Amino acid sequence: MFISENASEYLSRYSDKCTSFYPFTKTRNIIIKEKKARGFYKKPRWNISVVAKEYIPYRTVITEIEGDIYMDYEYIKDNFYTHPEMDIKIVYKDEIMQRMRAQCRSNVALCIIKEENSINKKNIENRENNKKYKIYLIATDNIMEDEELIFNIKNISNGICSCNKIEYCLQPV
């Protein structure tokens, strides 16, 4: 995981927004599932989605996400997530994040967690490596077995809602 210099200074100043200790016992099982689309098509269409393999309770760490952290003005590309409270972008490289859909009603969110490393010979030379940040995917709602994991539309780069319910959609048109 890469953190730019400006982003590491920013995160060290606003360390209260990064959770220093997050209690969890294990990561939950999620899978990428392919389902055949409904309806009749000459060529069969497949919908790829990320679903929970087991029940996931509220505020549980689902998995660790591989990605880089940049400031808002440093990095502009397609696959990024803007943090709702801080001025940073999380560029994800994970296949799970690339397959996840975005809707106005989400059940997962990203969380940056700060972990303190023990001092050893490598860290004595470079004091900046004593603070390590990790990115985790956290459940913001109770997720049942075989339920799809969905991101919040406001924090995704493309900004297109996929709920297909115009009268109930929370995203302004």
pLDDT digits (tens, 9 = 90+) for 46-59: 677 888 888 988 88
Q: Give the model's pLDDT for residue 121.
A: 45
- The domain locations on the chain are 5-155
DSSP state of 99: H
Inter-residue contact 94 to 65 (CB < 8 Å): yes
What pLDDT, in 10s, does the model give residues 79-92?
A: 777 776 777 888 87
Percent of the chain with pLDDT over 70: 58
Q: How many CB atoms lie within 10 A of CB 44?
A: 8
**pTM assigned to the model:** 0.70
- Are β-strands 150-152 and 101-103 bridged in parallel, bridged antiparallel, or unpaired? parallel
Percent of the chain with pLDDT over 90: 1
| Dihedral over Cα of 73, 78, 79, 85: its sign | positive
Superfamily for the 5-155 domain: SET domain (2.170.270.10)
Q: Give the model's pLDDT for residue 153.
A: 64
Could you tell me which of 106, 105, 162, 101 has the C-alpha nearest to residue 139? Answer: 106
Q: How many CB atoms lie within 10 A of CB 123?
A: 14
